[in-house]
Structure 1
Amino acid sequence: MNQDYIIPNPWSIIEEGFDAERVQSSESLFSIGNGAMGQRANFEEDYSGETFQGSYIAGVYYPDKTKVGWWKNGYPEYFAKVLNAPSWIGIGITLDGEKLDLATCKSVNDFKRELNMKEGWYKRSFNAVTKNNVEVAVSVTRFLSIALDELGAIAYSITPKNKAVAIKITPYLDSGITNRDTNWDDKFWETTNVSVQDNTAFIEAHTLKTNFNTCTFMSSTVTKNGQPVSITNSREEEKQAVLEYEFEANANDTILITKYGGYTVSRNHDKSQLIAAAKQTLAAADSIGFEGLLQRQKEEWAKIWEMSDITIEGDVKAQQGIRFNIFQLNQTYLGTDSRLNIGPKGFTGEKYGGSTYWDTEAYCLPFYMTTKNETVARNLLKYRYDHLEKAIENAEKLGFSNGAALYPMVTMNGEECHNEWEITFEEIHRNGAIAFAIYNYYRFTGDYSYIPEMGLEVLIGIARFWHQRANYSTHKNKYMILGVTGPNEYENNVNNNWYTNYLAKWCIDYCLEQIQKVKDGYSEDYQRIIGHTKLTDAELDDWKKVASNMYFPYSETHDVYLQQDGFLDKELMPVTELDKTERPINQKWSWDRILRSPYIKQADVLQGFYFFEDHFTTEQLEKHFDFYEPFTVHESSLSPCVHSIQAAKLGRMEQAYTFYLRTSRLDLDDYNKEVEEGLHITSMAGTWMSIVEGFGGMRVLEDKLNFFPQIPENWEGYSFKVNFRNRIITVKVSKTGSSYQLNGTEEMSIRVNGERVVLKPGETVAV
């Protein structure tokens, strides 16, 4: 049974009623972020119940030493931890000597949370009766500013309802925080300075080992019925900075605490200037004011939604799902800093560690280059170019040479920091996703300049890796790739994973094409690259031998490519015959049993059919879909979206819609029973793809934008926008047809269902 307490609403995530069992799930679902920092939806006041505290700063991490009882050559020395940062949100409330704590209150009524996705703010309200019988009404609004991305703001209103009370309010900063996820219970932070000045406070702290210097800061003001209340005391403790306000309040007096807080970081400022930078941010906040900052927040989010919104008519749950996914993607990454990337949990939890997986290239790049612009997409590719030397080092640690590059499965700074051996050493298909992203970027944006400037060197490093990783079988007279894990992580250490072999061949062929293209058209870049890489014709000939003679496992009986050697040796029982109480198998079965089963975690062969759709006929896709999908348990967040797109291509809209709903509401409905650990950020881009590429049928074919639109039966209509080569096309699809409007200065032609359609600026063309 999936959770179903989130109230359907087209623009908001809403929870009504307080349930301590749901607190940690809601802390994930109501998370907020602004690309530079983020936080779980923890309560500002004290809460003694079960909670997962989390505040995160983009790019700040700790290298937690790998925990294994034995060591392998080339093993990553650390697992990069996304760090729980010092907290600035705390506001202690004491009423007649009793702490306000929802875990200990006699009653909590009218509890409501709302995450307003349209305007980018989070609100919580409730009425409570404390253990000493004080009745209060509380309303809190909080947001992380996009306009001033080092700043967050809180307006905390509290009203005693049944009698006069002595109130004590203590806004504070706290650096005495820990990670829930730690290998050795190491201390990750060192607090170096705590200071309070008037109504402001600062805690300077740095991470151990990585030495990121941070300043966590706050300022606060308190009013009673609109009149200022003075600070009565302040404290500088070892790991806390506390301001105190003590006063009497009558029944129905309204007390408002306005608190600004956030982080300045040595990634962006000189470490000696962190407090000065924090003061500047606080001064800007004071001059604009809470309402002014909130208005700016609404304006910034309006700009984001103007381009990235997808509307759905007639299906509120589907509408809420897609907007939640788009909202969280934009909270995580806005594309303004090429040093950053998109972590699988974003700013919503600690699980997985690292900030960068192959998810970025395979799933996230299409979303960002289509809803933003080529600069943002280029920044994501530049990130990989900037890490090329580290990728070469990673390969050298595993015994590769001559500039072969193996990009990490998980990274913060280009070094591999994932420490499950079957992933680190074997899930090498991630290299191919990076090469595919370079191809995909050029195909979509038409910007070739990335390849001679940066991309070709990345492609050469990847091609060298595949050439060295393949080995020749005299028995089969073919090149093979042995001992790998494909996208289906329920199969480890297999030989000749079809997807991996196919990617390897394609990567080499594509790199050879680009070398020739750069040689013909960009001679200066070509000479620089050849000089740097020492590439020779003899080496290229060796590559060609591998690519032209790659082995692909195939079943004549089933007329399908096999996921890997030996797949047919399994007991091929479809998922429908599994007892429902055995699901999810990753929580119910031993790993040994999973590895011996035919069950597939996510698209594997079908991932290849998604990437290289134009290499295969629709009939081939149908045959492979019908063979593999029945064995797929979809226990990866990356699984339903690919299957939705392919089901739509096959015209199976009911199945495509079922997969869409699962990917769009994966977290809202907690399909995998793990949302309290954080959200599945990178798979959210797949939700966007399942509408735009799945239902909308968007493709780039023969250098033209194509659409093959379809609509789920229970939708009245849907619309989305795409930025194709700096021209914005609005697509609307209804039961009766589709329409296309161009925002640009010159006319352009697209194809709809294979037919040429000419778009003129400002005109709408119905098909």
Structure 2
Amino acid sequence: MKDYIQHDPWKIIEQGFHKEDNRISESIFSIGNGKMGQRGNFEEHYSGDSMPGNYVAGVYYPDKTRVGWWKNGYPEYFAKVLNAASWIGLDVHVNGERLDLHTAEILDFRRELDMREGWLKRTFKARLLNGNIVEVEALRFLSIADDECGALRYSVKAVNFSGDIEVKSFLNGDVVNEDSNYDEQFWVEIAKSVEGNAGVIVSETKKTAYQVAIGMKFEIFKNDELQDLDYANEALKMYVSGSSKLDVVEGDQIVVYKYACNVSSRYYAADQLLEKAEEAVNRAHSIGFDNMLEDQAKAWADKWQHSDIVVEGDDAAQQGIRFNIFHLNQTYTGEDARLNIGPKGFTGEKYGGVTYWDTEAYCVPFYLCTAPQEVTRKLLIYRHNQLGRAIENAEKLGFDKGAALYPMVTMNGEECHNEWEITFEEIHRNGAIAYAIFNYIRHTDDKEYLAEYGLEVLMGISRFWAQRVNWSEGLEKYVMLGVTGPNEFDNNVDNNWYTSYIAMWCLKYTEESLAYVKENHPKRYEEIVQNASFDASAEVAKWREIREKMYLGYDEKRNIFIQADGFFNKEQILVKDLDPKHLPLVHHWSWDRILRSNFIKQADVLQGLYMFEEEFDLETLKSNYDFYEPRTVHESSLSPCVHSIIAAKLGDEDRAYEFYLRTSRLDLDDYNSDTKDGLHITSMAGTWMSVVEGFGGKRVVDGQLTLSPMLPKQWKSYSFKVSFKGNTILVKVTDSGVEVTHEEGQGLQIKLYDEEINIKANTSIVVHR
């Protein structure tokens, strides 16, 4: 665990350069705008340890699978969002010596991410090997007001010398992915041009043939005066630059303004990319740096207006939640239904930057309550558009008749994950997708979605469950064999409770959805049934039989659901009894030892109890929590938030707060020693859930919004907003009570601490505790 990021409500601050943690900082200080992202790499050359990263949404490469032993059903590739051409590059030479903070003496250093306005600034003072001292300030952002563009301002001051400063601004497409399976370079050059202070590179991905044009235009000022310079241009392999040398005397300041863009063949015809890149950088240049920065601040103000959570009295907690909300908002904007949310977003290469079940289980609740309805709808449409591929995925594993298995990992709907215990067995992801449809409709009342898109997805998923179960003659029950639940430390088990339970729920919800569409959209119902060759009477009858006769492990003595068959064959050891030197287990134990242990990676049974809480009494919730949490090592980023929410429900304020702080500062404090690989974007949505659903007690029960807030003793107050069925309310919790203010919509009836409250439009209600 690290502790070098200063606590501040609106900023992420690194004071002093922590060279040994530079990759961690590069992840933490990443910026993005939904279309592209950039790790917190330096603009100038850095010869120390670094992982360059510039990413373009939706552009990927199918990196050929690398496994020791091929198994039928393995995908042929792992899709990867690629490290793309760098736009931030500047080479600075001071009296002939290259500026490099790895070799220079750093006299002062500060890195600062302003989350309120969406920009990254770095200032430092350094003495080069030649004795020359420079002061540098670099500020950059990726515009969410114009999501094709970014800009930076880079100033260099001559502190103790006269002579010359040479500045070279460049674009570099000669880049690699560190996680390439075969050390392959994924890009080829299509075209490039450079003239004076402007340049463009067009690159194409191998195999997938996506083309991306990156463009730049820059200008140089000296002591606030624009310089009329001759630029020396260079064009190398996938590289263009423009450079100029300026004479300086002690105290002079050189300032570079650089405007850049990324445009891709996902949005324009390939033969238009050069032209579109030039248009974009010229547009940015004409608007100007200061005006672009002002537009950026306004656009971020709008996002914070809808999604901010305000915590009073605890800067660490406040910084943590805003850091999570900031990265969620700059990773996905809902502008394009072809895009989704990778576990690392635009901050690193791990997990390929592709779609997991995290989106439906964790991110959907955040966007449902903080963004326009259309944003979540597009996340669901993304899955509907890939239904055909999900059916193909199931067919590859031997299923038929329209059964759909959504992939564990995907870019285009095709499975591209190749760890057998996950690819073939972690099938609960199907349930998360069905649950997201249910969750969306109960929050929005958009039941038209069922007829238009949702029912077809639900039918494919339910057909899969109906074929995936087996009839056990011994138990006289349906069983679910050879699965991996959310706890990936328990592979290839039978009757994982969570997987079986969510399968039962899916069958029931699909039956209800069929009835709704048949009654309210009969023409569309007939179309769907006919296209799917669906025998409603026979198939629904089979679903009912499976639900009624599904085996679910239960231990009467402990009043707990058994995570999976054989769980009690494992030696029962609690995490508190482990020597801390063994943690994290994944870094210190063999996989064999982990699999034979009772330790749990993340919420498994408790994941199901969180999602279906209203179907269980408080005693059942408590007994399962008290049993499973002490055996959980929380080595998944998705784990602390679920435990925080359940602890809050049980009134265990200390544990709820402990898990909240862990999930909110997971990356800032590098809890799991893996922030260097990129941030945990999808689990950041879980941080929002731990406040709103945990401390705020927000639920939807029988179609009604309910709240039962608690106030952690570490906080003076907190507030959050929730959008629900066309209404937006602001909830503020203090030690004296709860104030609910209606901000948008026609008004609604909610339940607050089990009391029915009718909130009229534009009014406030205070309930004292």
Q: Secondary structure at the match of 2:437?
A: helix
Q: Secondary structure at the match of 2:171?
A: strand
Following superposition of structure 1 onto structure 2, how do residues 167-316 of structure 1 map, counting pairs within 5 Å?
167-229=165-227, 230-316=229-315
Give 2:141's aligned residue: 143
Give 1:626's aligned residue: 626
Hey, what's the Cα distance between the residues in 2 that align with 1:485 and 1:381?
24
Rate the CA distance shift 1:460–1:285 in 2: closer, same or farther, 3 A.
Answer: same
Aligned counterpart for 1:114 among listed residues 96, 112, 115: 112
Give 2:521's aligned residue: 522
Shift of 1:737: 0.6
Q: Secondary structure at the match of 1:418?
A: coil
Q: Secondary structure at the match of 1:156?
A: strand
Hey, what's the Cα distance between the residues in 2 that align with 1:294 and 1:517?
49
Hey, what's the Cα distance between the residues in 1 that align with 2:679 and 2:167?
33
Shift of 1:26: 0.5
What residue ranges of structure 1 are gaps of 5+ in the alignment?
Answer: none
Give 1:649's aligned residue: 649
Give 1:49's aligned residue: 48
Give 2:573's aligned residue: 573
Following superposition of structure 1 onto structure 2, how do residues 121-520 of structure 1 map, counting pairs within 5 Å?
121-229=119-227, 230-520=229-519
Q: Secondary structure at the match of 2:294?
A: helix
Match for 2:175: what amino acid? I
Match for 1:551: what amino acid? Y
Shift of 1:157: 0.5
Match for 1:578: what amino acid? L
CA contact (8 A) 1:404 1:463 kept: yes
Structure 1 consecutive aligned stretches of length 4 or more whose deviation exceeds 3 Å? none
Q: Secondary structure at the match of 1:352?
A: helix
Following superposition of structure 1 onto structure 2, how do residues 77-116 of structure 1 map, counting pairs within 5 Å?
77-105=76-104, 107-116=105-114
Shift of 1:513: 1.1
Hey, what's the Cα distance between the residues in 2 that align with 1:445 and 1:193?
47
Hey, what's the Cα distance between the residues in 2 that align with 1:756 and 1:80?
49
Shift of 1:284: 1.3
| Residue deviations 1:178-233 (CA, integer Å, cap 9, x gap) | 00101111221001222102321011110000110011111110111122331331
Count of residue pairs brought into register by the alignment:
765
Hey, what's the Cα distance between the residues in 1 that align with 2:225 and 2:716?
52
Hey, what's the Cα distance between the residues in 2 that align with 1:654 and 1:450?
41
Hey, what's the Cα distance between the residues in 2 that align with 1:198 and 1:245?
10
Hey, what's the Cα distance between the residues in 2 that align with 1:177 and 1:453?
43
Shift of 1:280: 1.3
Q: Secondary structure at the match of 2:5?
A: coil
| Residue deviations 1:282-321 (CA, integer Å, cap 9, x gap) | 1211221000000000000000000100000000000000
CA contact (8 A) 1:338 1:379 kept: yes
| Residue deviations 1:219-249 (CA, integer Å, cap 9, x gap) | 1101111223313311111221010111211
| Residue deviations 1:611-669 (CA, integer Å, cap 9, x gap) | 10111001110010011111000000000000000000000011100000000000000
CA contact (8 A) 2:217 2:285 kept: no
| Residue deviations 1:566-624 (CA, integer Å, cap 9, x gap) | 11111001110000000000110000000000000000000000010111001110010
Farther-moved stretch of structure 1 (27-36 vs 246-255): 246-255
Match for 1:642: what amino acid? V
Hey, what's the Cα distance between the residues in 1 that align with 2:485 and 2:747?
44
Match for 1:540: what amino acid? V
Match for 1:5: what amino acid? Y
| Residue deviations 1:349-370 (CA, integer Å, cap 9, x gap) | 0001142100000000010010
CA-atom RMSD in angstroms: 0.9
Superposition TM-score, scaled by structure 1 size:
0.99
CA contact (8 A) 2:640 2:660 kept: yes
Give 1:557's aligned residue: 557
Hey, what's the Cα distance between the residues in 1 that align with 2:730 and 2:50?
43
Rate the CA distance shift 1:558–1:350 in 2: closer, same or farther, 3 A.
Answer: same
Q: Secondary structure at the match of 1:312?
A: strand
| Residue deviations 1:147-177 (CA, integer Å, cap 9, x gap) | 1111110000001010112111100011110
Match for 2:367: what amino acid? Y
CA contact (8 A) 1:231 1:243 kept: no
Hey, what's the Cα distance between the residues in 1 that align with 2:170 and 2:96?
18
Hey, what's the Cα distance between the residues in 2 that align with 1:124 and 1:641?
32
Q: Secondary structure at the match of 1:299?
A: helix
Give 2:539's aligned residue: 539
Q: Secondary structure at the match of 1:673?
A: coil
CA contact (8 A) 2:196 2:231 kept: no
Farther-moved stretch of structure 1 (196-205 vs 340-349): 196-205
Farther-moved stretch of structure 1 (533-542 vs 46-55): 533-542
| Residue deviations 1:534-555 (CA, integer Å, cap 9, x gap) | 1112222222221211000111
CA contact (8 A) 1:354 1:410 kept: no
Shift of 1:517: 1.3
| Residue deviations 1:376-397 (CA, integer Å, cap 9, x gap) | 1100000000000000000000
Hey, what's the Cα distance between the residues in 1 that align with 2:744 and 2:172?
50
CA contact (8 A) 2:261 2:281 kept: no
Give 1:601's aligned residue: 601
Match for 1:148: what amino acid? D
Hey, what's the Cα distance between the residues in 1 that align with 2:53 and 2:191?
22
Following superposition of structure 1 onto structure 2, how do residues 572-721 of structure 1 map, counting pairs within 5 Å?
572-721=572-721
Q: Secondary structure at the match of 1:667?
A: coil
Shift of 1:81: 1.3
| Residue deviations 1:20-76 (CA, integer Å, cap 9, x gap) | 112111000000000000010100000000001100000011100000122111111
Shift of 1:748: 2.0
Farther-moved stretch of structure 1 (744-753 vs 603-612): 744-753
Hey, what's the Cα distance between the residues in 2 that align with 1:355 and 1:741?
38
Hey, what's the Cα distance between the residues in 1 that align with 2:747 and 2:693?
23
Hey, what's the Cα distance between the residues in 1 that align with 2:745 and 2:471?
55
CA contact (8 A) 1:74 1:397 kept: yes
Hey, what's the Cα distance between the residues in 1 that align with 2:231 and 2:477?
80
Rate the CA distance shift 1:191–1:216 in 2: closer, same or farther, 3 A.
Answer: same
CA contact (8 A) 1:143 1:154 kept: yes
CA contact (8 A) 1:30 1:41 kept: yes
Match for 1:305: what amino acid? W
Hey, what's the Cα distance between the residues in 2 that align with 1:590 and 1:262?
46
Hey, what's the Cα distance between the residues in 2 that align with 1:763 and 1:401?
55
Shift of 1:736: 1.1
CA contact (8 A) 1:174 1:240 kept: yes
Hey, what's the Cα distance between the residues in 2 that align with 1:439 and 1:311?
29
Hey, what's the Cα distance between the residues in 2 that align with 1:435 and 1:548?
20
Q: Secondary structure at the match of 2:58?
A: coil
Give 2:66's aligned residue: 67
Superposition TM-score, scaled by structure 2 size:
0.99
Hey, what's the Cα distance between the residues in 2 that align with 1:702 and 1:492?
36
Hey, what's the Cα distance between the residues in 2 that align with 1:76 and 1:354?
17
Q: Secondary structure at the match of 1:59?
A: strand
Match for 1:13: what amino acid? I
Farther-moved stretch of structure 1 (18-27 vs 605-614): 18-27
Hey, what's the Cα distance between the residues in 2 that align with 1:134 and 1:353?
42
Farther-moved stretch of structure 1 (217-226 vs 539-548): 539-548
Hey, what's the Cα distance between the residues in 1 that align with 2:747 and 2:555?
49
Shift of 1:745: 5.0
